[in-house]
Amino acid sequence: MFASFMTNAWLVGTVVALLAGATGFFVVMRGSSFAAHAVPNGAFAGAAGATLVGVAPLIGLVSFSVLAALGIGASRRHRSDVATAMALVGMLALGAAFLSLSAAYEPQVEALLFGEILGVSSSQLAPVLAIAAACFVALAVMYRPLLLQAAAPDLAAARGLNATTLEMGFMLTLALGASLTVPVVGALLSFSLTVGPPAAARLLTRRPATALALSMGLSLATLWVALAAAYQSDLPVGFFVGTLSALLYVVVRLATRRRGAGA
């Protein structure tokens, strides 16, 4: 589990988990869980398309997830649920078409759907770290505006915050984060790391800064445990991440409800 070839897996996993926790905090605050599910599927289609034309999968991941995010963000104020659903269906259809046309063998397809962090190479570290750093900077810049818009949208508008610009900025950040999460957790389950631990963190505290830190910590713990379990078994990381995220939320939900009933 701590062998030299696992170094890249632990490093990338740590970066991805921290970014998922930070982004997921705002996803839960803004009620954007459906979008957090749809965008990774756009990333999946991009990776499949990149494999088809013979370019680096990360290029396809970033390109398609950004396109999906821009489409969802532009329609946020006009039936965003419909726009998100159409983006989800369209990207899944493209991904299926790309995979059927490519010569990718089954393990590569499974890695796209369910993640394969154990195959991270040293050449992927620099792009991952650069994209993650850009996302953290963007979240730091948007931190207060995003909180204000989520808590008091009318007050945010009165103070001159452009809701469309802020939405597009956040969706682009979410898209870049999804581009990093898909190779680790997989397209089908990457949203679980972005929603489960942050939702549990929000139940545990009402203080935004504390919830943000707790969200990142819970996401990191979830991925570390999932990575260790995947190393010891033949199951993908995505399975353990999805299962642990769901269990974490259920346990915290039941504990807080019991605490509230006891009070």
At residue 208's C-alpha, the angle toward residues 245 and 255, to 5°, is 45
Report the range of poorest mean pLDDT among 31-35, 80-84, 226-230.
Answer: 80-84
Give residue 197's pLDDT.
93
Per-residue pLDDT of 33-79, as tens digits, reads 777 777 877 777 887 788 778 777 778 878 888 887 777 776 655 55
Give residue 84's pLDDT.
75
Per-residue pLDDT of 140-182, as tens digits, reads 999 998 888 887 877 877 888 887 788 888 888 888 887 777 7
Query: Percent of the chain at pLDDT above 70?
Result: 83
- Per DSSP, the three-state class of 236 is coil
From the list 27, 9, 31, 6, the residue with the least C-alpha distance to 178 is 27
Do residues 49 and 165 touch, judged by C-beta distance below 8 A?
no
**pLDDT higher for 47 or 118?**
47
- Give, in words, the CATH class of 4-188: mainly alpha
Token couple for 251: 């346990």
Q: How far apart are CA 253 and CA 33, in angstroms?
A: 17
Backbone angles phi, psi at 191, to 5 degrees: -65, -20
pTM summary value: 0.80
Per-residue pLDDT of 185-223, as tens digits, reads 677 667 788 889 999 999 999 899 999 999 999 999 999
The answer to whether residue 246 scores a pLDDT higher than 80 is: yes
Residue listed under structure tokens 């396109």: 67
